[in-house]
Chain A
Amino acid sequence: MNKRKVSVGPERPLIPKGKEMKTPYSTLLPKPVAAMIFLTLLAGLSLLALSAVPEIGPNPRADFWRDVREGVPGVTVVDSEAHRILIHNGGQNWREIRNGLISWTGALLMAGVLAAIFLFFIIVGKDRLHEPRTGMRIGRFSLFERILHWYTAFFFIVLALTGLSNLYGRAVLIPLFGLEVFSGYMQWALWIHNFSGPLFLVGLLVEIIIWVKDNIPKKMDIVWFKNLGGMIGKGPRPHAEKVNGGEKAWFWLMTFAGIAVGITGVILDFPIWGQSRGTMQVSHIIHASVAILFIAASLGHIYVGTIGAEGTFEGMWRGSVDESWAKQHQDLWYEEKTGKRAS
């Protein structure tokens, strides 16, 4: 048997000396094209490999429980939105946000605003009338406006107190009054809250409609904020028409917060349109967090309207303000009303 002569290698190198860097393929295809072909092949093969995996995975029970955990809806004869999904994850997030974020930051925010108002009152003090009252009174709010304001304010306070009882009552009121007394109060608080909400919303919407014309932001309102309408420091009082910068800020906060709280409140208050648990959870989070901002801001409004600025309360209670008050706080409105020069 003849042993075939095996060639161990080419007699001469395939790549001529000095041209080692040049591969044979590069002469056929430019490098980017070659790379693209390679990548396309790789991608195609990967897809082929993926589609080769059977539809039922290696552990069908694991697939089943994964579906359940991800909230894939099933079929049930006890049919309702809440029953079709075996495990609904949203509730845990809602619980964490309500019991954690909202209740803690809300408490800190409201306590912070109260403390800031208290410090402001101690350090800066009451914004008194600089000139003695002249006794001449200028009409500020009509009877309808005042009734509307106090109607809305009444329901705002009722809603704030009952709403805060709902969020903080368990931590604050149960230790004081016990489970039975608090539950009895809270049952009424819940009903009152749910019926007051739409009544408040009506008042708020009418307020927005009749007051929006006086509350269009203007350049002078930015100036107003520089020394908080002259409440801080000795600088000259900034100009203001019927409604000053601070009041406009409150008006727009009231508008946006009121509409946000109102819409979410209606979603929560009327569980008759088939809204899902998820919708209610999101609505509740918006409702509670915006309501707390609203309450915190209202503390500033209540402060300035009562003890913060002398003579302001009369405008919303008696409907008229003293000439000196108008001159000091709303100089342009004063000039328009009386025809006199404010300064």
Chain B
Amino acid sequence: MARMKFLCDVERCIECNACVTACNNEHDIPWSINRRHVVTINDGQPGEKSVSTACMHCTDAPCAAVCPVDCFYTTEDGIVLHDKDLCIGCGYCFYACPFGAPQFPEQKAFGIRGKMDKCTFCAGGPLPDNSPEEYIKYGRNRIAEGKLPLCAEMCSTKALLAGDGGIVSEIYRKRVMARGSNMEFWRWEAAYPPGK
């Protein structure tokens, strides 16, 4: 079985936010929730870098560890999913997650948040694959269709990679070797070295 991973190549990410839009569109995600977001560090300064982030599908997931109702589970592919029928909307996963992945449709007085929503690695939820109920609650199940997450599939610079961890790291390793080391500035040649 594969061990699914996201990897964002900071030398390639151009902060176009197409991954965010693709995700929101593919899964019909309600307003105020964005399963994926792009963060730019040192924005506007030479050497600024952007990273596209979503749920990182941790091996030892903090959200799963603190969930009072134990609604998280890890699939055979190493994808961390949750059952919205069990979720009580307490917000603990939001406290624990380092990446800000868990989000809630509401944020009201008396701690009313609604069911948590997060990136599913386009793998839906515990309901039957690509049933209407699964689509409404979790979005499209592309993994069940044999496809990879749409955010990475349509990344224009191929900065965002998704798939089996071994293959993803092999692609990245080749890129690093081709670029050479010690890149001092973001530049076109860094992402696309001449003659390679």
Which chain A residues have a beta carbon within 8 Å of chain B's beta carbons? 56, 58-61, 64, 67-68, 72, 74-78, 80, 82-89, 91-92, 94-95, 98-99, 165-167, 169-170, 174, 179-180, 182-183, 186-187, 190-191, 194-195, 268-272, 277, 280-281, 284
Contact = CB atoms under 8 A, between A and B. Distances in A.
B91 A271 contact: yes
Contact of B95 (A85, A87, A284): A284
B41 A86 contact: yes
B110 A269 contact: yes
Nearest to A198: B110
B40 A179 contact: no
B123 interface: no
Given A80-B100, A82-B94, A95-B62, A180 B109 contact: no
B182 interface: yes
Contact of B182 (A58, A186, A194, A277): A58
A78 B38 contact: yes
B183 interface: yes
Contacts of A270: 109-111
Nearest to B113: A271
B68 A170 contact: yes
Interface string B63-89: 001111111000000000000011111
B110 A84 contact: no
Interface string B8-46: 001100000100100000000000001011111111000
A86 B88 contact: no
Interface stretch (B47-55, B128-136, B139-147, B157-165): B47-55
Contacts of B20: 77-78
B16 to A, nearest CB: 10
Given A56-B47, A77-B38, A86-B39, A91 B109 contact: no
A101 to B, nearest CB: 13
A154 to B, nearest CB: 19
A23 to B, nearest CB: 48
A58 B42 CA distance: 17
Nearest to A84: B39
The B interface, classified by DSSP as helix, strand, loop or mixed, is: loop
Contacts of B167: none
Interface string B169-185: 00000000000001111
B155 to A, nearest CB: 16
A59 B37 CA distance: 26
B95 A94 contact: yes
A28 B85 CA distance: 87
A98 B51 contact: no
B39 A74 contact: yes
A60 B42 CA distance: 12
B96 A95 contact: yes
A91 B90 contact: no
A76 B37 contact: yes
A56 B184 CA distance: 7
A21 B101 CA distance: 72
A194 B112 CA distance: 9
B177 to A, nearest CB: 15
Interface size class of B (residues with CB under 8 A): 35 or more
A272 B86 CA distance: 24
Contacts of B36: 78
A190 to B, nearest CB: 5
B41 A186 contact: no
B156 interface: no
14 contacts: A56-B47, A67-B41, A72-B41, A74-B39, A76-B37, A76-B39, A77-B17, A77-B38, A82-B100, A94-B95, A99-B65, A99-B66, A190-B111, A272-B108
B41 A83 contact: no
Given A83-B39, A91-B96, A183-B69, 9 more contacts: A67-B41, A77-B37, A78-B34, A82-B94, A86-B39, A94-B96, A194-B110, A195-B110, A269-B111
Interface string B99-128: 110000001111111000000000000000
Given A80-B100, A83-B37, A91-B98, A74 B68 contact: no
Given A74-B39, A83-B37, A280-B95, A88 B107 contact: no
B72 to A, nearest CB: 11
Contact of B100 (A59, A88, A165): A88
A183 to B, nearest CB: 4
B97 interface: yes
A180 B83 CA distance: 10
A74 B89 contact: no
A169 B68 contact: yes
Given A87-B99, A91-B96, A186-B68, A269 B109 contact: yes
A88 B37 contact: no
Contact of A60 (B51, B69, B110, B183): B183
